[in-house]
């Protein structure tokens, strides 16, 4: 399908985390449809790795699926002028209490490109110092230290079901092979 011609775009819902946009688009000469999508700022997913190669995941309740989720630390831009690395540093400290002195960006991915426009940037964080987390009021987060094999097993058993975490984990495994 060719790029759609957007005739009109308007925000039909907004909250603290995302907006819903309604675009009127022309799909063929004389044929218009409405397309709705989630407009969410760029985010970062962080893979914290200790000196022994262990990874850190967070466990937190995710209301839309009505259960807890095991995930890498992740978060979205809240202010317009923040650098992606600064976002990653802030989210890692806030959600896990971890501070890292060595960082590497592994690339980016589109989070839910069928229903949203958010991009996620993947960061590996090393040379870790553990501290106290500072979660937001809506977050109840616990930290888990896992080996690579344990993470693989949790994915295979369905204990890790967050798609961003699964994709980023396998991207991290590719990075280790370099």
pLDDT tens per residue across all 178 residues of the chain = 566 789 999 999 999 889 999 999 998 877 899 999 999 999 999 999 999 999 999 999 988 899 999 999 999 887 777 899 999 999 999 889 999 999 999 999 998 899 999 999 999 999 999 987 766 666 678 899 999 999 999 999 999 999 999 999 999 999 998 6
Report pTM.
0.89
Identify the structural domains of the chain with CATH numbers, from first to last.
5-39 (no CATH), 43-177 (3.90.79.10)
| DSSP designation for 160 | -
In the beta sheet, which residues pair with residue 43?
76, 120
Rounded to an integer, what distance in angstroms lies between the CA atom of residue 62 and that of residue 74? 13
Cβ proximity of 45 and 123 under 8 Å: yes
């Amino acid at each position: 399908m060719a790029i759609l011609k957007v005739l009109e775009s308007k925000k039909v819902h907004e909250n603290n985390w995302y907006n819903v946009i309604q675009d009127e688009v022309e799909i063929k000469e004389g044929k218009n449809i409405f397309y709705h999508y989630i407009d969410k700022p760029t985010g970062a997913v962080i893979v914290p790795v200790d000196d022994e190669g262990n990874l850190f995941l967070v466990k937190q309740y995710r209301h839309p699926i009505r259960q807890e989720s095991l995930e890498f630390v992740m978060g979205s831009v809240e202010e317009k002028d923040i650098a992606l690395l600064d976002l990653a540093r802030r989210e890692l400290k806030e959600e896990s209490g971890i501070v890292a002195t060595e960082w590497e960006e592994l690339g980016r991915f589109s989070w839910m490109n069928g229903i949203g426009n958010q991009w996620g940037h993947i960061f590996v964080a090393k040379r870790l110092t553990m501290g106290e987390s500072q979660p937001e009021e809506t977050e109840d987060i616990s930290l888990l230290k896992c080996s690579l094999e344990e993470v693989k097993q949790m994915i295979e058993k369905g204990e890790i079901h967050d798609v961003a975490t699964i994709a980023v984990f396998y991207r991290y495994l590719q990075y280790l092979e370099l």
